[in-house]
Chains A and B, each alone.
Chain A
Amino acid sequence: MQRALLYGVFTALVSLLLGYSVEPWMGWVLFYTGLSVHLAMHYRNFSRLERWSRKPVLDASLEGDGEWDRVFRRLYRHEKELLEKIERREREIARLIAAVHAMNDGIVLLDAEFQIQFCNKTAERQLDLALATDRGAPIANIVRQPAFVDYLDRADFSRPLTLRLDRYFERVLSLYLISYAEGHWLLQVKDITQTDRLDSMRRDFVANVSHELRTPLTVLSGFVETLQEIEVDEDTRRHYLQLMGEQSQRMQSIVQDLLTLSSIESAPPPEDQLVDMDSLVDKLRRDAEALSAGRHHIVLDSEGQGDLVGAESELVSALANLVANAVRYTPAGGTITLIWRISPEGAEFAVQDTGIGIDAKHIPRLTERFYRVDRGRSRDAGGTGLGLAIVKHALSRHQATLEVSSEPGKGSRFAACFPASRVRCE
């Protein structure tokens, strides 16, 4: 500004000097020419500014002469800072959106009419939404479960809604509707399928334990009552007592198995001791022979030299359960093969039988507590319904897995596979 003023004063002074010393009109001419040049320069810069303001992009065209240059430079800097700020904000927003998409919980933003404004990927998956097509649609158009529609209608969102969806596969969702930013709603969706399943498993477990214990108890108390009320002859009495003995034995083995299971579950990780596998496998074979009492053909197929590291008592209860199962579910005359393979890469103890076999649909559930393929039969055979649960727990504490393959009518193969870290070969 000062320079423009100086230029004006200077032009005026020179013109005045010229006017006084030479001719007045020359002074005027010089004065007007000077001002016109000055005006032309300003006009040129002004039209540049005007042109730029029509489409304000950041480029080199934004530069001027003299005084204008400073203005243009300041404008340029301001514009640049603004753009950077916008870019920074956009990056922040994009990061926030990415974070919302990365969440494990579903998030749906709704307006006052419960129309979908935004939802993250998890919510798309959970509720079968598609943001691209469903933006602006009332959420009840897509999530049509009457329970959900009623929940929205009732407008009491103090408690979450538990929603069961059976699209594609069973899912249990917990929905929270939270008010935010004046009249807008945030719908938070948690997948509680796992917790729900655990809850029902726990409930089933208690119900099963009571049921399994009550059955022999009913028999027992029935006989006690009979013996108290009526006179019976010696033979009948002995027969009753024998049945009572069997039932109390049954209860005892259920309680024993429950205790084993809970001690395996709650005990600290097994202390690593070297387990002499040759003698253990031999003992398992002898157990099998004793249990079978000559009804089956027992074969031992052992290969490799080495021992396992782990808790001997747990390994014994796991492997002995597999052997006992095979004896129990193989009809007389069948063959039971105990297979023991050990090498530095890992070890496997398998029991192969020619028994009744298991239908494929039961196999994934075999290790559930009290899961029975055939209720009557397994109880007759003296099973408690906890054996394989114990096996699975004991093995998993040794990082070992239980692999089951079976064909109904042909026989089954149960294998405990131990990782290399558990093997000690001389």
Chain B
Amino acid sequence: MNESQHVSSQFDEDLGRLRTHVLQMGGLVETQISAAIEAYTTGEIASVKTIVETDRKVNDLEKAIDDDCAHIIAKRQPTASDLRLVLGISKIVTDLERAGDEAKKIAKGVRRIYDNGHLPAQYGVGIRHLAEAALAMVRQALDAFARLDGALAVSVIRADADVDVEFKSIIRQLITHMMEDPRTITTSIDIISISRAIERIGDHAKNISEQVIFVVEGRDIRHNKEAIK
């Protein structure tokens, strides 16, 4: 009796540590994204370097967490909600790592624009708004994971539709720009790739939220629009 209790509390500790590592990785990705937004609005190219450096840490954490997941499954053979947690985590880290990559893409795009002597900020405030919405989604998705809050995860999934709509309107706006003045095409293409990256960050936040719902409720709602209605 005593023995098994000891073992299971050790197991709980392992799971708790795993979750904290995931959230730590999430914190790094959050700062990457907000630094990318900062670089976009202020032109602080110095932060681009930190974003790239943070990316290395994120990658290391991803590998370490994946390793831990494999270990826990092999050693503890978790069942039910514990198993869902471990499976969910192994998918969440993939999405987090990719969101970090997108932040890196934004930073590099910003650097390209400034190197060509342009200011991205003059292309409207829409991008900044879009990026802030995507960042808020990532934050809420991680909050939902930290608190295992299914309702919050559902609201993140709903927010993704707004981000998509905003993304499309930015693209339309840029197309008009390019038609009016072909000299803006180079910069506009960079801006399009930046907004594309932002939109992808929103998608990753949505995927993370779907995994949170899977962990909390055991429902797999991927590719199922009805499930969150």
Contact = CB atoms under 8 A, between A and B. Distances in A.
Interface stretch (B27-35, B163-171, B191-199): B27-35
Contacts of B146: 134, 137, 141-142
B21 to A, nearest CB: 10
30 contacts: A128-B143, A130-B147, A133-B149, A134-B146, A134-B147, A137-B146, A137-B147, A138-B16, A138-B20, A140-B20, A140-B23, A140-B27, A141-B19, A141-B20, A141-B23, A141-B146, A142-B147, A144-B24, A144-B30, A145-B27, A145-B30, A145-B31, A146-B24, A146-B27, A146-B28, A146-B31, A146-B54, A149-B27, A166-B34, A167-B139
Given A144-B23, A146-B54, 20 more contacts: A133-B147, A137-B146, A138-B16, A138-B20, A140-B23, A141-B20, A141-B23, A142-B143, A142-B147, A144-B24, A144-B26, A144-B27, A144-B30, A144-B142, A146-B27, A146-B28, A146-B31, A149-B24, A149-B27, A166-B34
A166 B143 CA distance: 15
A140 B31 contact: no
A141 B30 CA distance: 13
Interface string B4-36: 000000000000100110011011101100100
Contacts of B30: 144-145
- Most B CB within 10 A of own CB, among A130, A133, A146: A146
Q: 3 closest Cβ contacts across the A-B interface?
A: A144-B27, A141-B146, A141-B23
Contacts of B16: 138
A133 B139 CA distance: 17
Interface string B101-143: 0000000000000000000000000000000000000010011
Contacts of B24: 140, 144, 146, 149
Contacts, number: 39
Interface residues of A, number: 15
Nearest to B38: A166
Q: Chain B interface residue count: which class?
A: 10 to 19
A56 B20 CA distance: 46
Contacts of A144: 23-24, 26-27, 30, 142
A342 to B, nearest CB: 43
The secondary structure that dominates the B interface is: helix
Contacts of B28: 146
A134 B23 CA distance: 14
A15 B147 CA distance: 80
Nearest to B54: A146
Contacts of B147: 130, 133-134, 137, 142
Contacts of B143: 128, 142
A140 B146 CA distance: 10
Contacts of A134: 146-147
Nearest to A145: B27
Contacts of A141: 19-20, 23, 146
A145 B30 CA distance: 8
Nearest to A137: B146
Interface in A231-266: none
A133 to B, nearest CB: 5
A149 B31 CA distance: 12
Interface string A150-169: 00000000000000001100
B52 to A, nearest CB: 15
A133 B149 CA distance: 9
A140 B28 CA distance: 12
- Most A CB within 10 A of own CB, among B19, B31, B142: B31
Contacts of A142: 143, 146-147
A141 B27 CA distance: 9
A303 to B, nearest CB: 42
Nearest to B29: A144
A133 B148 CA distance: 9
A86 B201 CA distance: 55
A299 B222 CA distance: 70
A96 B24 CA distance: 34
A138 B19 CA distance: 10
Nearest to B17: A138
Nearest to A143: B27
A217 to B, nearest CB: 28
Nearest to B23: A141
Contacts of A133: 147, 149
B44 to A, nearest CB: 14
- Most A CB within 10 A of own CB, among B19, B20, B139: B20
B123 to A, nearest CB: 17
Nearest to A128: B143
B57 to A, nearest CB: 8
Interface string B145-156: 011010000000
